[in-house]
A = this chain, B = another copy of it.
Amino acid sequence: MSREAEGSQTRKAELALRQAIVEGEFRAGERLSELTLTERFGVSRTPVRAALARAEAEGLIETLPSGGYVVRAFSEADLTDAIDLRGLLEGFAARRAAERGPSRGELAEAKLILAGIDKLLLKPEMSAEDFDTYVDLNARFHRALWDLAQSPTIFREVERVASLPFASPSGFVRLQAHLPEARAVVMLAQDHHASVIEAIEAREGARAEALMREHARLARRNLQAALADRGRLDELPGGPLIRHAASL
């Protein structure tokens, strides 16, 4: 059976494992027994094993010296590093795109997404549904940007770094939803988006790079705000995996 098949047991185990970890159903540092996961996911050990190997490659879990896996614990420094790394790679992608000079057609998709977000921002108030739409459009914009570098290698690595729930471009966006300044942050982010496309079009590589680096700092800002009042963090994807200075 194909590895990418929807009905594949391996895929089933991968998705279930990923979801269980990200939703905090295991405590950070908890050992993941293959047999336990076998019962839980309703598949045999072989697919579970494959899922564990993949999760380790993604950085969600880590191996014990004596064998087996434990759920990884993330420090605050890990989070900011991951976010910065994402910004670094997105900045690189943007610079490459600018230096290469994409055609008008290649830029079309990104501009279309931008217009969609602009339209959302026209509304005086954003509903929860609007916010979902925004999260989706935001994710799509970032992927479109990665694609503009026209480099499978770069795409691969930035996708990888952004696969951690915290480092994802949409990772902390949801956290703003209930914050009063949410709208302002979204508008700021959208200005970054528009500026980076403008920079790419004008072949201003350094500017495009700097913009994406700064853009990632918005995520760090949201992270800081979330860390300030602890409660919010747990409702975040992957939130429970964050190890706090207090609980060290």
Which residues of chain A have a CB within 8 Å of any CB of chain B? 1-4, 49-50, 53-54, 57, 59, 63, 65-67, 77-78, 81-82, 84-85, 88-89, 92, 151-154, 156-157, 161
Pairwise interchain contact B89-A88, C-beta atoms closer than 8 A: yes
Q: Point out the residues of chain B lying under 8 angstroms from A57, CB to CB.
A: 53-54, 57
Cβ-neighbour of A4 out of B65, B85, B89 (below 8 A): B65
Q: Point out the residues of chain B lying under 8 angstroms from A88, CB to CB.
A: 88-89, 92
Pairwise interchain contact B156-A63, C-beta atoms closer than 8 A: no
Q: Which residue of B lies closest to A91 (CB)?
A: B88
- Report the minimal beta-carbon distance from A222 to chain B, rounded to whole angstroms: 18
With the chains together, A92 CA to B209 CA distance in Å?
A: 13
Cβ-neighbour of A92 out of B50, B54, B85, B156 (below 8 A): B85
- Report the minimal beta-carbon distance from A9 to chain B, rounded to whole angstroms: 13
Pairwise interchain contact A81-B151, C-beta atoms closer than 8 A: yes
Q: Point out the residues of chain B lying under 8 angstroms from A54, CB to CB.
A: 53, 57
With the chains together, A53 CA to B55 CA distance in Å?
A: 11
Q: Point out the residues of chain B lying under 8 angstroms from A50, CB to CB.
A: 49, 53
Known contacts A50-B53, A53-B50, A53-B53; is A85 also within 8 Å of B3 by CB? no
Pairwise interchain contact B85-A153, C-beta atoms closer than 8 A: yes
Cβ-neighbour of A63 out of B3, B66, B78 (below 8 A): B3
Q: Point out the residues of chain B lying under 8 angstroms from A156, CB to CB.
A: 59
14 further A-B pairs in the complex, CB-CB below 8 A; given A78-B153, A81-B151, A157-B157:
A1-B67, A2-B65, A2-B66, A50-B53, A53-B53, A53-B57, A57-B57, A78-B152, A81-B154, A82-B153, A85-B153, A85-B154, A88-B92, A157-B161
With the chains together, A82 CA to B157 CA distance in Å?
A: 10
Q: Point out the residues of chain B lying under 8 angstroms from A77, CB to CB.
A: 151
Q: Point out the residues of chain B lying under 8 angstroms from A53, CB to CB.
A: 50, 53-54, 57
Q: Point out the residues of chain B lying under 8 angstroms from A2, CB to CB.
A: 65-67
- Report the minimal beta-carbon distance from A191 to chain B, rounded to whole angstroms: 25
